[in-house]
Chains A and B, each alone.
Chain A
Amino acid sequence: MKLAFNIALRFLNSNKGQTFLIILGIAIGVSVQVFIGSLIQGLQKDLINTTIGNSPQITVLSALEDKTIGQWEGKIDTIKNSKEKITALSPTASFPGFIAFNKQTEPVLLRGFDLSKADSIYGITQSIYEGMPPTRKNDVLIGKELRDTLSLNIGDTITILTPTRKSQTMTITGFYDIKVASINQSWVITPIHTVQSLFEINNKITGIEIQVAEVFEADTIASHIDLLLGQNDLLKISNWKDQNQQLLSGLQGQSVSSIMIQVFVLIAVILGIASVLAISVLQKSRQIGILKAMGVKDFTASLIFLFQGFLLGIMGSILGIALGLLLAFSFTLFAINPDGTPVVALYINYGFVTISAIIAILSSTLAALIPAIKSSKLSPMEVIKNG
């Protein structure tokens, strides 16, 4: 083993130009993989983030006519204890209604939150650009677009009308902007008990909103939660994947084409290494013959070439990862939007980079298999006869 390794190292070292070319070939292959992989993954992360990052990925709703969920504290505990990786869990009481101010009326969604919990999904408190969060009953927070429509100011008193024509005056404590115009236009945010009392639902709520660590497992987590909660006639559970099939198949198509590119790059790299090493067996057949005449066994003779493939793979991978990361970082530096943010925020997944390297090393070793077999079959007589 050690002898074969040493001879492999010496062979590579004695032909530096050729060795460097193969390493460069592998490195370019690996760097393309790392770069494209990081780009596609960054793109997907971006897309998912903008689509579902600031919204619940799983929602528990009522299946009843009055849209309410009772004894919800127990249900929240059940979800908490589900052993799933839940990152946000927020109860809400929400009903549609109308806002009236200065003879103008607009349809709104009155959203009652426990802000400390809702913030981990929507980041409402951080998005308040003027005023304070609503803390008392009948305090409300108004979105930027709705504020412009109605020309509202802090301290203004507005009236909320329910579909059943109940009305209640409320006080504006601040304005938020969560960068989604339709939400800014329609959500009137208030402490949860404002909604509970206006709509006379006592302590009940209308939904539990959930975010999870593994967004792509939202559907299985959702059905697990469904199972744990039971009560199929009282509750219905939805998840973002069911509601975004098109986005998902788009992402999947992207992943598949990225894998295709990577497979073809890999094949090109393997063919390159295999052909250069095959030539190298011819170049070194004299040495192999001499070594065999001196007593080197066929297996050791083949190991010499497997080690060469392995060493080339390692060196090519290291250089390739360095090149790929360099390429990726310069891409984020040079491909930028007018405001200076990168067009695509790259996602450097070190697990993926490691896997690319391991695949490259394995394939280089595999590519050395044919030369290794040739080397194993070479007879010392071929060398000695030909002088």
Chain B
Amino acid sequence: MDNIIQIKNVNKFYGTTIKKQVLFDVNIGFKKGSFNAIIGQSGSGKSTLLNIMGTLDNPSDGDVYINHQKTTAMDKNQLADLRNKTIGFIFQFHYLLPEFTVQENILMPYAISNRIASSAILEKADYLMDMMGLTTVKNNLATQLSGGQQQRTAIARALMNQPKIILADEPTGNLDSETSENVYQLLREINETFKTTFIIITHDPRIAEKTDRIVEIKDGKIHSDFIK
């Protein structure tokens, strides 16, 4: 029972006047260091579930535990701290800060909770950029990158604070198949090197096949849960 994320009886409603239920009494846990895929049709509730696990969204009822801590009992500042130190996000759109360079974007999660970047931290950023093949564009603004470079910058940024969990919502949805194959290769390597827990929403069956576990969501419920 060493689940780094545990979802208990989570329901999610949207709307105030006309309530629409998106998640129905979801119970699921994810093991530390595992590499998981969430699949399902568009509109089935995958993103909603992921955002609730990432404390970006609140469940209407039920509880979320991260590292055995009940996040539904935390205040906004505690949640911000938890996200900064424990969770890395990768979204379909890269969400880089266009005013900052590649290096600065990657260092941002560190800068949020620390004052001055030591040389060890700068080396770590260099290492991540090297790993992602970004060294040559290190000082480019985020807007001066190709789509693949942007997404790799976003991945490097998600890794900066060495979070225990990485939540990825269709991270290669905007990339061509060759680039997306490379990105998955990278994520897998990170999972093996740092024992980072990955939960990845994907449409791509070839990708899903390479994970340790495939969870299928249908109409806001867990339809199937296949562990290899």
- Chain A interface (Cβ < 8 Å from any Cβ of B): 2-3, 6-7, 10-11, 13-14, 286-287, 290-300, 380-381, 383-384, 387
Q: Pull 7 A–B residue pairs with CB atoms less than 8 Å apart, ordered by A.
A: A11-B99, A291-B97, A292-B80, A293-B89, A294-B83, A295-B113, A384-B56
Contact status A294-B100, CB under 8 Å:
no
- Chain B interface (Cβ < 8 Å from any Cβ of A): 51, 54, 56-57, 76-77, 80-85, 89, 91-93, 95-100, 108-109, 111-113, 115, 157
Q: Which residue on B lies nearest to A11, using beta carbons?
A: B99
Contact status B91-A294, CB under 8 Å:
no
Contact status B97-A290, CB under 8 Å:
yes
Contact status A286-B99, CB under 8 Å:
no
Residues of B within 8 A of A295 (CB): 80-85, 109, 112-113
Docked CA distance A295–B93 (Å): 18
Contact status B111-A3, CB under 8 Å:
yes
A-B contact count (CB 8 A): 66
Option from B84, B91, B115 in Cβ contact (under 8 Å) with A384: B91
Docked CA distance A2–B113 (Å): 11
Docked CA distance A50–B39 (Å): 89
Contact status A10-B112, CB under 8 Å:
no
Contact status A294-B89, CB under 8 Å:
yes
Also in contact, A381 and B51, with CB within 8 A (given A291-B97, A297-B76): yes
Residues of B within 8 A of A384 (CB): 51, 56, 91, 95
Residues of A within 8 A of B98 (CB): 14, 287
Docked CA distance A14–B141 (Å): 11
Docked CA distance A300–B108 (Å): 14
How far, in Å, is B66 (CB) from chain A's closest CB? 13
Also in contact, A381 and B57, with CB within 8 A (given A287-B97, A294-B89, A294-B108): yes
Residues of A within 8 A of B157 (CB): 294
Docked CA distance A14–B144 (Å): 14
Docked CA distance A381–B47 (Å): 11
Residues of B within 8 A of A387 (CB): 92-93
| New A-B contacts (17) at CB < 8 Å, excluding given A294-B157, A295-B83, A298-B80 | A2-B115, A3-B111, A7-B99, A13-B99, A14-B98, A290-B96, A293-B56, A294-B83, A294-B89, A294-B112, A295-B80, A295-B85, A295-B112, A295-B113, A296-B112, A297-B76, A387-B93
Option from B51, B57, B80 in Cβ contact (under 8 Å) with A296: B80
How far, in Å, is A280 (CB) from chain B's closest CB? 12
Also in contact, A3 and B56, with CB within 8 A (given A294-B84, A295-B84): no
Q: Which residue on A lies nearest to B94, using beta carbons?
A: A290
Docked CA distance A11–B100 (Å): 9
Residues of B within 8 A of A294 (CB): 83-84, 89, 108-109, 112, 157
Q: Which of B76, B97, B100 counts the most A-chain CB atoms under 10 A from its CB? A: B97
Docked CA distance A3–B100 (Å): 13
Contact status A297-B80, CB under 8 Å:
yes
Also in contact, A287 and B89, with CB within 8 A (given A294-B108, A381-B51, A381-B57): no
Q: Which of A290, A294, A298, A381 counts the most B-chain CB atoms under 10 A from its CB? A: A294
Docked CA distance A6–B108 (Å): 11
Also in contact, A380 and B112, with CB within 8 A (given A286-B95, A297-B77): no
Q: Which residue on B lies nearest to A298, using beta carbons?
A: B76
Docked CA distance A38–B112 (Å): 46
Docked CA distance A116–B41 (Å): 103
Docked CA distance A171–B113 (Å): 92
Docked CA distance A298–B77 (Å): 8
How far, in Å, is B141 (CB) from chain A's closest CB? 9
Contact status A381-B84, CB under 8 Å:
no
Docked CA distance A291–B96 (Å): 10
Docked CA distance A381–B89 (Å): 13
How far, in Å, is B131 (CB) from chain A's closest CB? 20
Docked CA distance A293–B88 (Å): 9
Q: Which residue on B lies nearest to A3, using beta carbons?
A: B111
Q: Which residue on B lies nearest to A2, using beta carbons?
A: B115
How far, in Å, is A158 (CB) from chain B's closest CB? 87
Contact status A10-B99, CB under 8 Å:
yes
Docked CA distance A380–B57 (Å): 9
Also in contact, A10 and B100, with CB within 8 A (given A295-B81, A295-B84, A298-B76): yes
Contact status B112-A291, CB under 8 Å:
yes
Residues of A within 8 A of B97 (CB): 287, 290-291
Docked CA distance A264–B144 (Å): 44
Residues of B within 8 A of A2 (CB): 115
Option from A14, A380, A383 in Cβ contact (under 8 Å) with B99: A14
Residues of A within 8 A of B91 (CB): 384
Docked CA distance A296–B91 (Å): 18
Docked CA distance A286–B142 (Å): 14
Q: Which residue on A lies nearest to B89, using beta carbons?
A: A293
Residues of A within 8 A of B84 (CB): 294-296
Q: Which residue on B lies nearest to A13, using beta carbons?
A: B99
Residues of A within 8 A of B109 (CB): 294-295
Docked CA distance A299–B84 (Å): 15
How far, in Å, is A293 (CB) from chain B's closest CB? 6
Docked CA distance A7–B107 (Å): 13
Q: Which residue on A lies nearest to B86, using beta carbons?
A: A295
How far, in Å, is B71 (CB) from chain A's closest CB? 13
How far, in Å, is A281 (CB) from chain B's closest CB? 15
How far, in Å, is A298 (CB) from chain B's closest CB? 6
Option from B56, B77, B92 in Cβ contact (under 8 Å) with A381: B56
Docked CA distance A297–B76 (Å): 8
Residues of B within 8 A of A293 (CB): 54, 56, 83, 89, 95
Q: Which of B54, B76, B89, B95 counts the most A-chain CB atoms under 10 A from its CB? A: B95
